[in-house]
Amino acid sequence: MNDYLFLKLMGEEGEEVQCLAFLNAILGSKNKKPVKLIKILENKTFTAEIIGEKTSILDVRAETDNGEKINIEVQLKDLNNMEKRTLFYWGQEFTKGISRGDDYIDLPKVITINIVNFDNIKLEDFHTCFHLWEDNHKDYILTDAMEIHFINMIKFKKLKSGDMVNNPLERWLTFLDKDTPEEVLEEVINMDTAIGKANDRLNFVSQDKEFLRAYHLREMALSDWTTGINTAIEKEKKEIARNLLNMKLSKEQIQEATGLDIETIESLVFL
C-alpha cells in the first residue's frame, strides 16, 4: 500500500494489463460495464524531492478506449478532507478534457478511485460508489460523468468471510494487503494471471537499487508525516488536559476526556 510502489505496479507504460484488470475488478464489483482497453496517461520521472515530499500525490492516471478518464489514488493518511479532496482532483481531471470553444458535450466521464486505509465513509461496505442522483428520485441520475469510488482497506480486512474465487476485487485487495499470509498470497497469485503479472513486476522492481532507495525514501516521508501528526495531537491533548486541571476536574475525568494516562496528567501539574 505504499503509493510509490502502487504506481510502479499499475501506473507506468507497459503495466496496462494489471491496471486494466484491477480497474475491471473494481467496476465489476458494482456491476459496471467492463473496460476493454486503457492507456496510461503519464510516465512520471520522480526525483528524490518529489518522493520525499510528504504531501505529494502519486496517483495513477489512465484513459479508456471510449475516452473515459481514470484516476486512482492510494491515501494512507486521514487528513479529514478526503471527500472534498477527491472532488477537487475529479474536477481537475474533468476540466482537462475540454478546451476553449469546445462543446461541453465533449467533456469526458471521469472515474476517481480512492484506496484508503482509514474510515471516512460511514457505511459498512468496504467498497462504495457515488454519482449525482436526484434527492427524491434515487434512480434518476443527472449525469454519469461523475463516478467516485472509495475502497476501504480497514473494512476489507475485517471481512469475516470472502469469496476470492468469484470476486476479482477481493483477490486484488488480498494481494495489496501487506498482512496477507504467504500461503494465501501464493494462492491468489496462482488464481489470477493479472495478479501474477503484478507480482512479477513487484519482484522485478525490487531488484533495482534505485527503486529500493526511492521506496524507502517514500516510507520515511510517510513515517515522518505520521510522527508529526501524532506529536501535534499529543501536544493538543496536553493543552486540553492543562485547561481541565485548571477547571479542577479530577485526573480520572481528564483521562477519560483526553485519553492521556494518569502519569502524564500528573506530570502536567508541575509544568
In tens, the pLDDT along 29-59 reads 998 888 999 999 876 666 555 565 655 667 8
**How many of the other CB atoms lie within 10 Å of CB of 36?**
10
Residue 271 pLDDT exceeds 60: no
- Mean pLDDT over 134-155 rounds to 94
Report the predicted TM-score, pTM, of the whole model to 2 decimal places. Answer: 0.78
Same domain membership, residue 232 and residue 198? no
Per DSSP (E only), the strands in 76-215 are 110-116, 127-130, 133-134, 137-141, 146-152
Q: Is 251 part of any domain?
A: yes
**The C-alpha cell that represents 98 in the structure block:** 475540454
Q: Is 7 part of any domain?
A: yes
**The C-alpha cell that represents 73 in the structure block:** 489514488
Same domain membership, residue 261 and residue 162? no
Same domain membership, residue 146 and residue 58? yes
The widest CA-to-CA distance across the chain, in whole angstroms, is: 69
Q: Is 215 part of any domain?
A: no
Between 118 and 51, the higher pLDDT residue:
118
Residue 28 and residue 172: Cα distance in Å, rounded? Answer: 13
**SS3 label, residue 73:** strand
Nearest Cα residue to 149 out of 266, 44, 84, 71: 71
In this prediction, residue 183 has a pLDDT band, given cuts at 50, 70 and 90, of very high
pLDDT for residue 237: 87
Residue 24 and residue 18: Cα distance in Å, rounded? Answer: 10
Count, in order, helices (H) and strands (E) of the chain. Answer: 11, 8
In this prediction, residue 133 has a pLDDT band, given cuts at 50, 70 and 90, of very high
* Domain hosting residue 250, numbered range: 221-268
